Amino acid sequence: MINWNIKNSKEKRENWFFPSFEVQEYLLPVVNVGAPIFDEYSDTTYELDDCMRLRNVIASFMETLSLTNKSKIRYETIYKGLESLDKSLIIETLENLDAAANLAIKDRTALVFYGD
């Protein structure tokens, strides 16, 4: 699974990763907004412009999620068919990713995604 960190940071943050393959599969098309396309098996670097786009996309998607009262989000997976995900887990993952993008912008550095 993909995890992320601030470029050149040795500090490991808790929860800066996709918590499951299903959450990763669901969110990758949403958060894939950088100039480089996500490489699930190698590193992908989001520069400042990419991080700013990512923040906007996350805010918009979180607003969309807030409009549903359902606690489960259903989607069609590539390999397993229909899956249900906890809405709270999706929101938590997006909050962690947003925090990373904000920190990268604040520190004027890049956000790096590390593939499998």
Distance CA 89, CA 72 (A): 10
Task: List pLDDT tens digits, range 72-107.
Answer: 999 888 888 898 999 999 999 999 999 999 999 999
Greatest Cα-to-Cα distance within the chain, rounded to the nearest angstrom: 41
Contact 105, 55 (CB under 8 A): yes
**What is the Cα Rg of the chain in Å?**
14
Please state, rounded to an integer, the average pLDDT across all residues of the chain. Answer: 91
pLDDT band at 41 (very low <50, low <70, confident <90, very high): confident
Distances (CA, A) of 2 to 66, 69, 101, 110: 25, 29, 15, 16
Residue 51: predicted pLDDT:
96
Cα distances (angstroms) measured from residue 85 to each of 12, 16, 22, 57, 104? 26, 18, 8, 20, 28
Per-residue pLDDT, 97: 96
Q: So what's the pLDDT on residue 73?
A: 93
Strands in 111-114's sheet, in edge-to-edge order, are 3-6, 111-114, 43-46
Contact 110, 13 (CB under 8 A): no
Whole-number Å distance between alpha carbons of 17 and 76: 22
Q: Between 9 and 6, where is the model more confident?
A: 6
pLDDT: which is higher, 35 or 25: 25
pLDDT of residue 9: 81
Closest CA to 108 of 2, 35, 8: 8
